Amino acid sequence: MHTIADELLESLETFMGRVFAQAQAESVDALLDKELSITHVRALFVLAQRETAVPISDVARTLGISPATAGRAVDHLVRHGMVERNESAEDRRVKHIRLSALGWQITDEHKEGKRRVLAAIVRRIPDPQAQALIDALRPILAGDVLHLPPKETHG
C-alpha cells in the first residue's frame, strides 16, 4: 500500500537529489582540491555547527566514528591549518578543537556555493508554488522533526 509518507519520501528524494546533484559538483571539487577525505569534510562541518571549541570525542560521537579515527582526521586538519587544537584547562589529556580562520573560509565557501545553486533553482519556482512550499515548511522547521540524535560510536 502506497502511503502519503511514501509519496512524500519519493518527492523529497527526487527534489533533493536534483538540487544536490547540481550543487555538489562545484562544491565537492573545491574540497577535493584541498585533499580532504569524506571524514575530514564531515569533521569540518560538525565543527562549523559549534559555537565554541569542543573535545575531539564530541566530534567522534557526532560522526559515529572511533575517537582514534577522529583524532587522525583532526591531526590532518590541524596540519593543513583548518582546525586549531588546544589542551583543556581542566584536563590536559582532553584536546579541544575548533575551526581556524581557514576552516571557516572553506566551510563558508562550500555553503555559499550550494546556496547559489539553490537560489537559482528557487527563483524558477512560480510564486504560488513557492508560497505553498513556504507554508508547508514553516511548521516543520519550527518543530523538532528534523533534529536527529547523534550516531552511536562504532569500534
Kindly indicate the confidence band of residue 150, based on its pLDDT and cuts at 50, 70 and 90: low
Cα angle 62, 68, 73 (rounded to 5 degrees) comes to 70
Whether residue 71 contacts residue 39, with contact meaning beta carbons closer than 8 Å, is answered with no
What average pLDDT does the structure give for the chain?
88
pLDDT at position 83 is 96
Q: How many CB atoms lie within 10 A of CB 65?
A: 21
Which residue, among 89, 100, 49, has the nearest Cα to 59 in the 3D structure? 49
Q: What percent of the chain has pLDDT over 90?
A: 59
pLDDT at position 133 is 93
Pairing label, strands 95-99, 54-55: antiparallel
pLDDT at position 26 is 66
Whether residue 108 contacts residue 82, with contact meaning beta carbons closer than 8 Å, is answered with no
pTM above 0.85, yes or no: no
pLDDT at position 151 is 58
Structural domains of the chain ordered from first start: 4-142 (1.10.10.10)
Whether residue 51 is predicted with pLDDT greater than 70 in this model: the reply is yes
Q: How many CB atoms lie within 10 A of CB 108?
A: 12
How far is it, in rounded angstroms, from Cα 48 to Cα 103? 8
Q: What is the average pLDDT across 66-78?
A: 95
How far is it, in rounded angstroms, from Cα 81 to Cα 97? 12
- Residue 86 gets the label, from left (phi > 0), alpha (psi -120 to 50) or beta, of beta
Choose between 150 and 40: higher pLDDT: 40
Whether residue 150 contacts residue 61, with contact meaning beta carbons closer than 8 Å, is answered with yes
Kindly indicate the confidence band of residue 18, based on its pLDDT and cuts at 50, 70 and 90: confident
pLDDT at position 93 is 78
Whether residue 56 is predicted with pLDDT greater than 60 in this model: the reply is yes
Question: pLDDT tens across 73-125, in order?
Answer: 999 999 999 999 998 777 777 889 999 999 999 999 888 888 888 899 899 99
